Structure 1
Amino acid sequence: MRLYMNIFQVSRYRGVKRTSLAILLGLSSTWADAQPGGTSEAHTLDPVVAQIVKEAHEHSQLQQLAHELLDVVGPRLVGTPQMKHAHDWAVAKYNTWGIEARYEEFGEWRGWERGISHIDMVHPRVKTLAGTQLAWSPTTGGKAVEAEVIVLPQVKDSLAFKAWLPHVKGKYVMVSMPQPTGRPDHNWEQYARPESFEKMKRERDSLTKAWNANIDAMGISSRSLPRILEEAGAAGILECYWSREFGSNKIFGARTTSVPSLDISLEDYGVLYRLAENGHKPRIKVETDSKHLGTVPTFNTIAEIKGSEKPDEYVILSAHFDSWEGGSGATDNGTGTITMMEVARILKKVLPHPKRTILIGHWGSEEQGLNGSRAFVLDHPEIVQKTQAVFNQDNGTGRVASINGSGFLHAYDFMGRWLSAAPREITRDINTDFPGLPSSGGSDHASFAAAGIPAFMLSSLSWGYSTITWHTNLDTYDKLIFDDLTSNVVLIATLAYKASEEPELVNREKRVMPLGRDGQPQQWPVIRQPRRTGVGY
């Protein structure tokens, strides 16, 4: 059963309990007093919460943190020097706030460093192309490699594909379907006649079906195609992973080991494809100077504010540190990172001696399978088993809009208490789902929920996250919404404060899992082993 409600109408899994606003609210300063400029709504606040609000609004460091992390350090791909630079920056920043931070190694990965790259069409006309190397892509060694661009053939079967393979030798091969439009659906829906919009969608569906059928006829998978073409002597692989938004492409990892893999913008990929398809034999010149760095460590960055009464019990602020690197990793997960850092800064200032230890986990290699948080759960059972709650953020720049109980039967109780302490201006539009269901993946809270620890994803408003910034070349500083981030800082700092001050560890009883499609009860997620070694995507 899934119940969505305002947090002040908290529903029990066994029967409904509505808690009045008057009981849930604190009895000291007001939100109107605490918020600069005031508000017509007089919501009384706990004195510590009032200080949190004041510090977050009057002395915010979010913009400076964002600048230093995103503009100076940049993206934080696992295995790159930038990931270590980010760690060093964070530790130094925490030290200025009087917070201890440390390095915790948990594995290794293939080291790689991006260099300058140039992608130019030189025939039938000259044009500099918008594109980028994929993560861990092999390099041209700083030399310009010029070659013809070709498209995949239409084949009857795998034998025909194998017969064609020798044609790729010395050529750049395009491996993505050409899109019939570069306009996102919302743009079509706004301006096109309905029949025109429907016609475009039918054409796109038909092209997609035909493209997939052709790959199937080759007797291979799209994942294995780049390696097969590389082994056949291709000069490089060209792809276009359009995100269905203006100018946005998703940038993941290379599947080649000796020739470059490049993602080309939708508009430039379309030019090359049409030229090749119509017999104009386009040629491009590619020059890259990225570096392979051998095997390098993977690690988490851990900071903590030591508890005064129960130092061996914990509240964990969770956000992964690593990112893909088509952009600067701004909303995935620079926003979560700087939010948790700002929360820690404020708590250290207004609550320097919390009852429980507040631990901030900046996890590494989340993008490759929650590796950092999974390793932490296995490597630190003494911490995990005495963790009060985990608050995780990892889905963009928007203010928190929903909270799932993660399958803990009594989450409605303790989370309801903690949420009621936050300013009403922030919580009034948050939907909750109690007891909810545990997540088996997706982000780092799942690693802790699998261990039976109350861990909550603080899910944000979209702001076009899935198409505009998630793993794309547009995931950059300019997409940040600092008012929403400030709201999240106040909310999370309040939750961490109240969780820390709770008299005892909360009830961790799990809900009865619902039936699955097979008619059998679903199973609680199990603890999974992290990848402690890897060679790329």
Structure 2
Amino acid sequence: MKRILLVLIFIGLSIGQIAHAQINEQLIQSMVKEANENSQLEPLAHELLDVIGPRLVGTPQMKQAGDWAVAKYEQWGIPAKNEVWGEWRGWDRGITHIDMVYPRVQSLKGMQLAWSPSTGKKGVTGELVVLPMVQDSAEFIQWLSNVKGKLVMIDMKELTGRPDYNWEEFATEASFEKMKNERDLQEETWSENLKRIGHNRRTLPEALEEAGALGIVTSYWSKGFGANKIFSASTKKIPTVDLALEDYTMLYRLVEYGNKPKIKIVAESKELGAVPTFNTIASLKGTEKPEEYVILSAHFDSWDGGTGATDNGTGTIVMMEAMRILKKLYPNPKRTILVGHWGSEEQGLNGSRAFVQDHPEIVNNIQAVFNQDNGTGRVVNMSGAGFLHSYDYLSKWLAAVPKDITDHIETNFPGSPASGGSDNASFVAAGAPAFNLSALNWSYWNYTWHTNVDTYDKIVFDDVRNNVILTAVLAYMASEDTTPSSKEKIVLPTDVKTGIQKSWPVQRAPNRKGGM
């Protein structure tokens, strides 16, 4: 009888396990169907990117985006809030017009840099000058008297406006090599001259401002057609603008040939004083282990050259759409599933670092963090982030993801801990298992990373939908796993350069009072 009872128990358990597996498979298939047939990605992207626009920390658009996300989550029945963690220099980009007014009239392609001082409605008009070649800093200091009342061009005139891939396709091998050699020499000469001048990209505008310059003109080419990197100004009273390569090099040649070009800059930005900066947080409360957490992570802020579409609008809408699907199909998770849309990532992971510092009760009980940041491509790489036993659970969770998605993904176990780059590093530094969903390039670094062309039209929605499915299934599996994730770390190797054993990244404090 005992033997029969054991057999019946075994059969019962097996049936239960099969039923459980069937339920899991059915739920995952439902997630895939929802993601593909009822996707909200396009309207989310339109509302966030086209209507609200870029989300520079400290701007009204960042606040508008936070309020929009909270309202969207609440519309889906998901509790959400904007959680203030500091304050930032408030600034609002206004109308910018840049025009050449001599030796002829031409409207120029360009924009005011973030936090640049305003020109007022009248604007400023002045002759352009370029940096001199000097023997030492003393000669540069002597030259500084020439900038008073002038607009100073502080970047090198690019040798070519064609990306390397364009040269590779059309140029002869000899011509391509000749161009590269000339460019290398030009870049080396420019770099050495800057060293002799005694300033870098940040301090040079400040020195020129102090010397009486009327404004600063830059062109930070991103090595792609029409793409410039757009960051922030370091001047306090005079405007700083960035021009498209084509216009900048034209003006530079006019200066070199003695044509004395003049431009007019109208940049009507507004200073708003100190404004709150925040993370947008939403959650599905766990039913069995509510004090343990699965975190979906993506930074919400962006630079404002474009609309922050692939950095990190795509990561943002992936996490929002994954949460919508989870709420609809898996509304009662075992563990709490929390989504964090972090503020001020671009200035040093400040939002996620603040969250980690402010919420040890969450960070100490994390099952997993899934972070997505780098662009519009499908996820192609996952690392164990230096957690010794990460293979044991990550591979199990990934096995539940549809094969047509995981076929594209390479894994690296146990990997090494992230020390920066994106918000997963904030959690890794605190010892929490946080994993970056690293995406296919899609020319991210040259064309959309912090550029003026990081806009809706660069999104590849088929790839983004794949990432939604991946994220939703990973969150589900991490929530359901009966075993807590091991946080045991690997022993890091010796640094070959220093001969010293590497150490785990140190948790860093956020900047809670930025830009002021």
Same-fold call, TM cutoff 0.5: yes
Distance 1:417 1:219 in 2: 55
Distance 2:361 2:201 in 1: 44
Distance 1:159 1:476 in 2: 44
Matched, 1:362 2:323: no
Matched, 1:305 2:268: no
Question: Which amino acid is 1:521 matched to?
Answer: Q
8 Å CA contact 1:215, 1:222 repeated in 2: no
Distance 1:341 1:474 in 2: 23
- Which residue of structure 2 aligns with residue 533 of structure 1? 513
Matched, 1:148 2:119: no
Matched, 1:524 2:504: yes
For each residue in 1:179-209, what CA deviation from the matched residue of structure 2 results, as whole angstroms up to 9, or x when unmatched? 0000000111111111111111111111111
SS at match of 1:487: helix
Which one of 45, 48, 59 corresponds to residue 69 of structure 1? 48
Which one of 431, 443, 449 corresponds to residue 452 of structure 1? 431
Which one of 14, 19, 37 corresponds to residue 58 of structure 1? 37
SS at match of 2:223: coil
- Which residue of structure 1 aligns with residue 5 of structure 2? none
SS at match of 2:128: strand
After TM superposition, the score normalised by the length of structure 1 is 0.91
- Which residue of structure 2 aligns with residue 375 of structure 1? 354
SS at match of 2:346: helix
- Which residue of structure 2 aligns with residue 440 of structure 1? 419
Matched, 1:400 2:344: no
For each residue in 1:470-498, what CA deviation from the matched residue of structure 2 results, as whole angstroms up to 9, or x when unmatched? 00001000000000010000001000000
Alpha carbon RMSD of aligned pairs, Å?
Answer: 1.2
Distance 1:370 1:222 in 2: 22
SS at match of 1:244: strand
Distance 1:496 1:447 in 2: 19
Question: Which amino acid is 2:455 matched to?
Answer: T
- Which residue of structure 2 aligns with residue 9 of structure 1? none
1:221 deviation in Å? 2.5
1:429 deviation in Å? 1.8
Question: Which amino acid is 1:164 matched to?
Answer: W
- Which residue of structure 1 aligns with residue 140 of structure 2? 161
Distance 2:342 2:199 in 1: 35
Question: Which amino acid is 1:229 matched to?
Answer: L
Distance 1:27 1:307 in 2: 21
Equivalent residues in 2 for 1:507-522 (5 A)?
507-517=486-496, 518-522=498-502
Question: Which amino acid is 1:367 matched to?
Answer: E
Question: Which amino acid is 2:74 matched to?
Answer: N
Distance 1:145 1:450 in 2: 47
Distance 2:123 2:198 in 1: 33
For each residue in 1:427-479, what CA deviation from the matched residue of structure 2 results, as whole angstroms up to 9, or x when unmatched? 01210010000010000000001111110000000000000000000100000
SS at match of 2:317: helix
SS at match of 2:283: strand
After TM superposition, the score normalised by the length of structure 2 is 0.95
Gaps of 5+ in 2: 1-19
Distance 1:449 1:220 in 2: 35
Question: Which amino acid is 1:504 matched to?
Answer: T
Distance 1:404 1:388 in 2: 16
Matched, 1:331 2:310: yes
SS at match of 2:227: coil
Question: Which amino acid is 2:86 matched to?
Answer: G
- Which residue of structure 2 aligns with residue 8 of structure 1? none
- Which residue of structure 1 aligns with residue 397 of structure 2? 418
Matched, 1:209 2:195: no
Question: Which amino acid is 2:183 matched to?
Answer: R
Question: Which amino acid is 1:525 matched to?
Answer: P
Distance 1:53 1:156 in 2: 65
Question: Which amino acid is 1:532 matched to?
Answer: R
1:27 deviation in Å? 5.2
For each residue in 1:134-170, what CA deviation from the matched residue of structure 2 results, as whole angstroms up to 9, or x when unmatched? 0000010111211001101111111111111011011
Distance 2:88 2:297 in 1: 22
8 Å CA contact 1:143, 1:288 repeated in 2: no
Deviates more, 1:210-219 or 1:233-242: 210-219
Equivalent residues in 2 for 1:3-82 (5 A)?
28=22, 46-82=25-61
Equivalent residues in 2 for 1:95-494 (5 A)?
95-494=74-473
Distance 1:383 1:102 in 2: 16
8 Å CA contact 1:173, 1:234 repeated in 2: yes
SS at match of 1:366: coil
SS at match of 1:146: strand
Distance 1:138 1:427 in 2: 48
1:222 deviation in Å? 3.0
Distance 1:446 1:179 in 2: 35
1:46 deviation in Å? 1.5
For each residue in 1:304-346, what CA deviation from the matched residue of structure 2 results, as whole angstroms up to 9, or x when unmatched? 0111111111100000000000000000000000000000000
SS at match of 1:46: helix
1:52 deviation in Å? 0.5
Distance 1:180 1:288 in 2: 29
SS at match of 1:140: coil
Distance 1:367 1:221 in 2: 20
Number of matched residues?
A: 497
- Which residue of structure 2 aligns with residue 38 of structure 1? none
Question: Which amino acid is 1:340 matched to?
Answer: M
SS at match of 2:228: coil
SS at match of 1:368: coil
Question: Which amino acid is 1:531 matched to?
Answer: N
Question: Which amino acid is 1:476 matched to?
Answer: T
8 Å CA contact 1:366, 1:444 repeated in 2: yes
For each residue in 1:269-320, what CA deviation from the matched residue of structure 2 results, as whole angstroms up to 9, or x when unmatched? 0010000111100000111111000111111010001111111111000000
1:504 deviation in Å? 2.8
- Which residue of structure 2 aligns with residue 3 of structure 1? none
SS at match of 2:250: helix
Distance 1:428 1:159 in 2: 60
Gaps of 5+ in 1: 1-25, 30-44
Deviates more, 1:84-93 or 1:144-153: 144-153
Distance 1:358 1:97 in 2: 15
Distance 1:335 1:143 in 2: 38
- Which residue of structure 2 aligns with residue 37 of structure 1? none
Distance 1:331 1:121 in 2: 32
| Higher normalized helix content (fraction of residues) | 2
Matched, 1:502 2:465: no
Distance 2:320 2:489 in 1: 31
8 Å CA contact 1:364, 1:371 repeated in 2: yes
Distance 1:217 1:402 in 2: 43
1:356 deviation in Å? 0.5
